[in-house]
Amino acid sequence: MSKTENLAQHLEKLHINNMYKNDFYWTWDKTDDELDAIFTVADALRDLRERNISTRIFDSGLGISIFRDNSTRTRFSFASACNLLGLDIKDLDEKTSQIAHGETVRETANMVSFMADVVGIRDDMFIEEGHKYQKTFMDALDEGYEKGILEQRPTLVNLQCDVDHPTQSMADLLHVIHEMGGVENLKGKKIAMTWAYSPSYGKPLSVPQGIIGLFTRFGMDVVLAHPEGYEVMPEVEEIAKKNAEESGGSFTKVNSMEEAFKDADIVYPKSWAPFKAMEKRTELYRAGDKAGIDALEKELLAQNAGHKDWSCTEDMMKLTKDGQALYMHCLPADISGLSCKEGEVDNSVFDRYIEPLYKEASFKPYIIAAMIFLSKVKDPVAALRDLEKRGGKRKEF
Amino acid sequence: MSKTENLAQHLEKLHINNMYKNDFYWTWDKTDDELDAIFTVADALRDLRERNISTRIFDSGLGISIFRDNSTRTRFSFASACNLLGLDIKDLDEKTSQIAHGETVRETANMVSFMADVVGIRDDMFIEEGHKYQKTFMDALDEGYEKGILEQRPTLVNLQCDVDHPTQSMADLLHVIHEMGGVENLKGKKIAMTWAYSPSYGKPLSVPQGIIGLFTRFGMDVVLAHPEGYEVMPEVEEIAKKNAEESGGSFTKVNSMEEAFKDADIVYPKSWAPFKAMEKRTELYRAGDKAGIDALEKELLAQNAGHKDWSCTEDMMKLTKDGQALYMHCLPADISGLSCKEGEVDNSVFDRYIEPLYKEASFKPYIIAAMIFLSKVKDPVAALRDLEKRGGKRKEF
Amino acid sequence: MSKTENLAQHLEKLHINNMYKNDFYWTWDKTDDELDAIFTVADALRDLRERNISTRIFDSGLGISIFRDNSTRTRFSFASACNLLGLDIKDLDEKTSQIAHGETVRETANMVSFMADVVGIRDDMFIEEGHKYQKTFMDALDEGYEKGILEQRPTLVNLQCDVDHPTQSMADLLHVIHEMGGVENLKGKKIAMTWAYSPSYGKPLSVPQGIIGLFTRFGMDVVLAHPEGYEVMPEVEEIAKKNAEESGGSFTKVNSMEEAFKDADIVYPKSWAPFKAMEKRTELYRAGDKAGIDALEKELLAQNAGHKDWSCTEDMMKLTKDGQALYMHCLPADISGLSCKEGEVDNSVFDRYIEPLYKEASFKPYIIAAMIFLSKVKDPVAALRDLEKRGGKRKEF
């Protein structure tokens, strides 16, 4: 039996009726079966592509991407996922558009979506803004579709907001599932999601939030570690606690990197900005207080600099389970002695984990494609079987 | 009988032999039958897409877009139209190209068109320049095709020049046809194309010109209203007059918004710059007179500010036929109290018409696709029938 | 027999087993048969396209382009070539990516290539850097592919480095082959690759280097002419010498444009920067010595200005074989009295050769497509025959 057929049989058993024509904002909106379905379809699409079988389900159509922050890997992952399914990509570049004229989100949403099947949005810079933008955008598309303005209602893929970064955390988790030899082996494993020092400022909180909001669902011991003052959003901590209780795992908060690393199976050391500072920054931006923003930046860089010992060094790695924990990062990392003087991780550690790190990243296009597939295809089990049976070649000759 | 078959039968009766391999500069270059054909094919393509039937007529090929001014909706409409027919889109971004080196239009035209089936150009900033640029570009492609440099002669779609904005006016008209229940119901209807106050400066004249140059062909009473000093190009006024005479409608010019709105079935209040000022601006740019340009801008903003009463308020709307005229705009509008303090239209008026406004915009991709289709397909009647009969799915599963 | 079948029969006789899954850095890496194969496939793809036969060999897949310098014609040529074969194009824009964060080439290479079949790179600004960047990039992809991070190993097409500009020189040569009526007619023909005056500064050396490194392989008399101080890379001169010996042609260096033009069959007058100055500039950039760079620029512009007599004037053209040499240029040229006051060529000369110049450029998309085709298709002879036999229409109706 082929791998894809195997995966189709697994998919058949899941309750996923709610996924068709639905959006993806946050992992905690989704049931366990729905997350399972995404992993399953991602693996199937990868299997088909590895066997040079076309997974084109669109003859034409557009994937719209809106990046309100810089991006390389998510940008290319989204483009790859769209291409894999037959969609063309069209970036909305707010600089060359008339959006500067002050048009509303509602209007923009409709104007770019006449032939869009998917919209991918990254808006992670401002606490309390990113998710709101995505929600406003999609509500406008609901309205546009209902009123016959749009021929189809595009699906949202959240490419990172202020709250969650689901394409990242899902790719991370699928990587862990593959590394551990199956989702059933996650139970009881310890993962340390820890803050790490970076010479830069204001990195989004959505990665640590995404990790604790997702990994707690699989019976793992999830430890969130950071210096005092680097708290994440309390709402997401609540979700992590509840998840851990339900899944039979645990969610712990500590203020010591050493404690988090101790006997960890997985470590995820990464810088982020303090939640409260980001709230303050959002207010300063709203008020247009340039001097206040500059002052805040200086203050935060000084605060960061007080925690240079929060770094994933070789010594720190020795504390982990057999000194061999799986090192993870969403990339790009601030690598001490390579991309900066002092950063999140020693070059020797990073370099030893290059292969798993890049593999981790390689799941993202398939996770995105699976999200689109499950939202667009009414009967995904039949569709996977059809694609395999039909056996169209991705590359001829 | 399907809607598409119905439309194909109508198309069969029209005299449109001239459209194959032809460009689209201005609506007044085209016969009534040719305009009818565009509306007909636009409706047919929309019908097919709504029924998930592929309208791909290209297996590969490029649509080149050149935006010498900002754009969102026209940019995405062009991209959508190309995608609908199977063409990839490639933007010519003059900033990252070698065009800054001073190459000629003739050279650029050929260099970007080796595999181009369509070229869409927006060049609306300077009076006496936009159309000239498009014409020079297309003449160069004629030459390139004749001499065997290009395998195919790409078609031009004018995405807005200094004279006309045909994809806008045609989408506007198709919207009106649908709202009025058929083109035959346009006769005797009054449309007020009126200037409106905007806090910004130098908006193109091609929208009002496009509207009076097109709507006068359908037996309508077209009223052009603006404060003294905001005249449009006299050549286009002449066309409007001639059209009105031939179609049995009328073309009137007034200097009062109230008069224009009185009993109007349709109102189109929108800001634009005075023709003579735009002529002067073009000269100042040619001369590189920065100080002169700044002085002109100040002068024009002051001139605008003298006409803040030219605004589509609730009171103004009450003057229209039963207080219920169809409000139109090419978007984005300057909305009082939403996108600016005082602008073209009251927020409450704009908001009440959101649905028809977005529908109006939704015709543009299909109008563009129809223009391309009729220029590229030798027997469009047979092609529409074939597409329907073949019934390829746009989205499988 | 069709032209394509004819070309397939020729291709059948060539030894090209090494081309499958291989990259294209420099023409002198390739055997004569391999270059012949590229010309042959380029002609076949053009023949098929002219006959409206689809040459799509990819159902989906991406071509990634990285332009670290401005580009119009190479950018559109690469996009056209990808489109011709069925690949979507995705530009890596380093300004909107996270590359500014300081990530390594190794990481970028893997992150953008998950679904990439081809990577086209232009990096021509700095001597000793361009080729190194391409090599590092492709080595990283080797590693990524071996370790299962990438499903496929993308092919490199060098879109211009500091050493060679193979898509240009190959397009140039295919043009010459067609103009001369066959590759066998090149023997004994004289080509003058000469420096010419330009008011701009620092143009890449890769064009003259590419020309002398390639044209010397066909038994031609290749003359490289430039003022003293404008030497090209000595390694490439060595290659040219060796080529000339083996092919029975000659490679001569002179310091006189007149001498080079004398009785030439072909002239290629074009500005470039002195190799030693470019080495110095690279060092200054590495050291971040802004003042030094400015001083060097001034110095080089002054040096250029001492050689304004190196211009392809009407008088100069009279020196060539029957006054009728084929004039070539990679475009855009600095045209005296058109794009600059004094430049590389008289407007009247340039204008007379517009048709062959644009034809010269028109080969580039096909050369690039042929490079991709031969690297991606295991049995290119069978594939060409299949494409022709299958006869899928590029444009239906």
Q: Scanning every residue of chain C, which has its alpha carbon at the shortest distance from the alpha carbon of A68?
A: C96
Structure tokens at A12: 């058949």
Q: What is the pLDDT of residue B71?
A: 86
Confidence of residue A275 (pLDDT cuts 50, 70, 90): confident
Task: For residues A118-123, give the mean pLDDT.
Answer: 96
Task: For residues B312-331, give the mean pLDDT.
Answer: 98
Comparing CB atoms, the residue among A50, A67, A358 nearest residue C110 is A358
Comparing CB atoms, the residue among A102, A111, A386 nearest residue B339 is A102
Question: Is residue A240 within 8 Å of residue A212, measured between CB atoms?
Answer: yes
Report CB contact under 8 Å: B339, A101. yes
Confidence of residue C102 (pLDDT cuts 50, 70, 90): low
Cα–Cα dist B331/B206, whole Å: 14
What are the residues whose beta carbons fall under 8 Å from the beta carbon of B29, sequence distance 6 or more?
Answer: none
Q: What is the pLDDT of residue B119?
A: 98
Percentage of chain B modeled with pLDDT above 70: 98
Task: For residues A16-29, give the mean pLDDT.
Answer: 96
Q: Are strands C266-270 and C326-327 parallel, antiparallel or unpaired?
A: parallel
Q: Which residues of C touch B64 (CB under 8 A)?
A: 76
Angle ∠(A121,A124,A126) on CA atoms, nearest 5: 130
pLDDT > 80? residue B96: no
Q: Scanning every residue of chain A, which has its alpha carbon at the shortest distance from the alpha carbon of B67?
A: A96
Report CB contact under 8 Å: C386, A397. yes
Comparing CB atoms, the residue among C80, C88, C395 nearest residue B58 is C395
Q: What is the pLDDT of residue C97?
A: 64
C100 touches chain A (CB under 8 A): yes
DSSP readout, B309-335?
Answer: T-SB-HHHHHTSGGG-PEE---S---E
pLDDT > 80? residue C12: yes
- Distances in Å between the alpha carbon of C245 and those of B228, C188, C220, C231, C252? 80, 13, 11, 21, 12
Report CB contact under 8 Å: B80, A99. no
Confidence of residue A70 (pLDDT cuts 50, 70, 90): confident
C302 touches chain B (CB under 8 A): no
Which chains border A (3 or more CB–CB pairs < 8 Å)? B, C
Q: Which residues of B touch A60 (CB under 8 A)?
A: 54-56, 83-84, 86, 394
Structure tokens at A180: 């551990």
Comparing CB atoms, the residue among A64, A107, A377 nearest residue B397 is A377
Return the higher-pLDDT residue of B370 and C101. Answer: B370
pLDDT in tens, B11-54: 999 999 999 999 999 999 999 999 999 999 999 999 999 999 99
Q: What is the pLDDT of residue B104?
A: 86
Q: Which residues of C touch B104 (CB under 8 A)?
A: 338-339
Structure tokens at B218: 């359908």
pLDDT in tens, B158-174: 999 999 999 999 999 99
Q: What is the pLDDT of residue C6?
A: 98
Question: Is residue C77 within 8 Å of residue C365, measured between CB atoms?
Answer: yes
Q: How far apart are the first and last CA of chain A?
A: 26
> Which C residues in the span 102-121 are in contact with A, Cβ-Cβ below 8 Å?
102-104, 106-108, 110-112, 114-115, 117
Report CB contact under 8 Å: A70, C108. no
Q: What is the pLDDT of residue C98?
A: 59
Percentage of chain C modeled with pLDDT above 90: 88
Report CB contact under 8 Å: A102, B340. yes
To the nearest 10 degrees (0 to 180), the angle between helices C32-50 and C364-376 is: 110
Report CB contact under 8 Å: C84, B117. no
B110 Cα distance to chain centroid: 25
Task: For residues A359-375, give the mean pLDDT.
Answer: 98
Task: For residues C260-285, give the mean pLDDT.
Answer: 93
C148 Cα distance to chain centroid: 32
Comparing CB atoms, the residue among B103, B107, B151 nearest residue C50 is B151
Residue C43, min C-alpha distance to chain B (Å): 13
Report CB contact under 8 Å: A97, B71. yes
Cα–Cα dist B211/B334, whole Å: 19
Phi, psi (deg, nearest 5) at residue A366 = -75, -35
Report CB contact under 8 Å: A72, C103. yes
Report CB contact under 8 Å: B396, A57. yes
Structure tokens at A127: 């606490």
Mutate to test the interface with B, among A19, A59, A94 (most CBs of B within 10 A): A59
**Rg of chain A (C-alpha set):** 21
Size of the A and B interface in Cβ pairs below 8 Å: 121
Q: What is the pLDDT of residue B126?
A: 85
DSSP readout, A74-87?
Answer: HHHHHHHHHHHHT-
Residue A96, min C-alpha distance to chain B (Å): 5
Q: Which residues of B touch A379 (CB under 8 A)?
A: 397
Residue A376: DSSP 8-state: H
Comparing CB atoms, the residue among A71, A84, A364 nearest residue C60 is A84
Mean residue pLDDT across chain B? 95
Which chains border B (3 or more CB–CB pairs < 8 Å)? A, C
Residue B34, min C-alpha distance to chain A (Å): 25
Mutate to test the interface with B, among A87, A106, A149, A155 (most CBs of B within 10 A): A149
Cα–Cα dist B361/A385, whole Å: 40
Structure tokens at A18: 């709610």
Report CB contact under 8 Å: C394, B58. yes
Q: What is the pLDDT of residue C103?
A: 65
Task: For residues C295-308, give the mean pLDDT.
Answer: 93
Question: Is residue C168 within 8 Å of residue C330, measured between CB atoms?
Answer: yes
pLDDT in tens, C204-213: 999 999 999 9
Confidence of residue A102 (pLDDT cuts 50, 70, 90): low
Size of the A and C interface in Cβ pairs below 8 Å: 120
3-state SS, one letter per residue, for B111-174? HCCCCEEEEEEECCCCCCCHHHHHHHHHHHHHHHHHCCCCCCCCEEEECCCCCCCHHHHHHHHH
Q: What is the pLDDT of residue A286?
A: 86
Phi, psi (deg, nearest 5) at residue C222 = -100, 120
Nearest by Cα to C387 from C84, C138, C175, C108: C84
Q: Which residues of B touch A110 (CB under 8 A)?
A: 358, 361-362
Q: What is the pLDDT of residue A99?
A: 57
Comparing CB atoms, the residue among A72, A393, A395 nearest residue C112 is A72
Percentage of chain B modeled with pLDDT above 90: 88
ipTM value: 0.94
Residue C286, min C-alpha distance to chain A (Å): 16
Angle ∠(A19,A21,A26) on CA atoms, nearest 5: 55
- Residue B211's CB is within 10 A of a number of other CB atoms, namely 28
3-state SS, one letter per residue, for C288-351? CCHHHHHHHHHHHHHHHHCCCCCCECHHHHHCCHHHCCEECCCCCCCEECCCECCCCEEHHHHH
Segments in chain B forming alpha helices (H): 3-12, 32-50, 73-85, 105-111, 130-146, 166-180, 206-215, 234-247, 257-261, 275-287, 290-305, 314-318, 347-352, 354-362, 364-376, 380-390
Cα–Cα dist C178/C326, whole Å: 12
pLDDT in tens, A209-255: 999 999 999 999 999 999 999 999 999 999 999 999 999 999 999 99
Report CB contact under 8 Å: C331, B103. yes
Q: Which residues of C touch A395 (CB under 8 A)?
A: 57-59, 61, 117, 376
pLDDT > 80? residue B250: yes
What are the residues whose beta carbons fall under 8 Å from the beta carbon of A246, sequence distance 6 or more?
Answer: A217
Report CB contact under 8 Å: B90, C76. yes
To the nearest 10 degrees (0 to 180), the angle between helices C290-305 and C275-287 is: 160
Report CB contact under 8 Å: A70, C96. yes
Cα–Cα dist C208/C344, whole Å: 14
B377 touches chain C (CB under 8 A): yes
pLDDT > 70? residue A101: no
Residue B134, min C-alpha distance to chain C (Å): 18
Task: For residues A86-111, give the mean pLDDT.
Answer: 81
Structure tokens at B280: 């002067």
Question: Is residue A372 within 8 Å of residue A155, measured between CB atoms?
Answer: yes
